[in-house]
Structure 1
Amino acid sequence: MTSIYFEDLAERYSSEIDDLRSDSEGKDVLKKRLQEKRQSFEYLMPMLEEAPEMVAPAFHGAFKLNDRKMLDKASRSTPGMPGFPRWKELAKTLVIAPWALPLIDACLNADEADGDAFLVTTVVLEWLLTEDLRRPQAASAVDDEDEDDSEDLSESGEGWMSEQGFDAIDR
């Protein structure tokens, strides 16, 4: 199960990747759009903290992830909290595409943003996207409950209304 921080961000990140994937004619243009994001990265940097899911796609495909345990621990935390690794620590466990190195340097040298936390967040988002681990176990239990044959909402509402002294509606 992921933290609320990553649960929300991962959903928005996945949607952003999906939006980049195809054009209005349904053609796959993901590579082209990712390249455009990478080329305009300096203009996206002011959004590192406020909308990381909009900037993170520039790194899509940049990391080969090797430490599932560290990523799992990070995904259960939030930046600044215990369990959230520093970039330097996480980077040791990654294979990083050479084209991503200048973007990483730009993040780490950013004055107005916490590039370190952004980079860790980006790696976790990539991991969640590729592993599809966002769905918490509790949600699947709720889904199972929804499939049972309990009374529907209108019937339970009618029952509650009659308990309150109201007459039942004839249907």
Structure 2
Amino acid sequence: MKLSRYFADHSPAYDAEINDLLSDSEGKNVLEKRLREKRGQIDFLVMMMDDSPEMLAVVFHQGFRFTSPRAMDELAGMEPDRFPSWKKLSAAATLVPWAQTLAERVLQEEGGERFMAIAAVLEYLHSRVDASGAAEAQDDEDEDQRDEDADGEDGDEGDEGESLPRNLEEAGADWLAEQGFERKE
């Protein structure tokens, strides 16, 4: 996929904005709390949609469901002045209910339709990076595990080998819970 100049410039800024919201000074994950705060400031943030779109776009983080990755790839290669209407685009990028309410506010503004398309593409690009980064991390983890298995001469996994998958599973469950998913019991 080839990014337009617009998205080549703005996608890293969007990623940085998400990363800034991710954790506090103690390293705790506070993304959801900070996103709620940002969403409460939407009336102020809409003033930034042209000059700093990433500042407003983050309120839609995790609010899109992408039904047509091909269409989103095409949009990422376009400059925003060539985008179709939001109504046409909404078939490729649907909003979850809470995000629909925010979108209604943004769409009241001049340029709101264009901005919603920009926000969708920024979130799409961010989610692609997260997915590819997660896949790379899993590949590295699998390789580390294979190396550890190959290094173990006596074949005895001991308590440490038994607790590692459980800790990873717990960490994964904690992360999913932070993202709003229910825990599996």
Measured against the shorter chain, the TM-score band is 0.7 to 0.9
Q: Deviations over 1:80-113 (max 9, x none)?
A: 12xx222111112333211111211111111xx4
Root-mean-square deviation (Å): 1.3
Structure whose CA Rg is larger: 1
Number of equivalent positions: 129
Q: Distance in 2 between matches of 1:106 and 1:30?
A: 22
Shift of 1:129: 0.5
Once the two structures are superposed, residues 32-58 of structure 1 have per-residue CA deviations (whole angstroms, 9 ceiling, x without a partner) of: 000001111111110011100011010
1:86 and 1:15 map into 2 onto residues whose CA distance is: 28
After TM superposition, which residue ranges in structure 1, 4 or more long, deviate above 6 angstroms?
none
CA distance in 2, matches of 1:129, 1:69: 16
Q: Please say if residues 69 and 92 of structure 2, whose CA atoms lie closer than 8 Å, have aligned partners that are also in contact.
A: no
Percent pairwise identity: 39
Which of residues 115, 125, 129 is equivalent to 1:128? 125
TM-score, normalising length from structure 2?
A: 0.67
Aligned ranges 1:63-82 → 2 under 5 Å: 63-81=64-82
The answer to whether the 8 A contact 2:13-2:54 is kept is yes
Corresponding residue number in structure 1 for 2:16: 15
TM-score norm. by structure 1 comes to 0.72
Provide the residue aligned with 2:26 in structure 1: 25
What SS is found at the alignment partner of 2:80? coil
The equivalences for 1:131-150 within 5 A come to 131-132=128-129
- Cα contact 1:10–1:129 (8 A) shared by 2: yes
Larger % of helix: which? 2
Kept after mapping to 2: 8 A contact 1:59/1:100: yes
Tell me, yes or no, if structure 1 residue 60 matches structure 2 residue 69. Answer: no
Q: Which runs of 5+ in 1 are unaligned?
A: 134-171
Larger RCO: Structure 1 or Structure 2 (Cα < 8 Å, ≥ 6 residues apart)?
A: 1
Whether the aligned pair in 1 keeps the contact of 2:72 and 2:92 (CA below 8 Å) is no
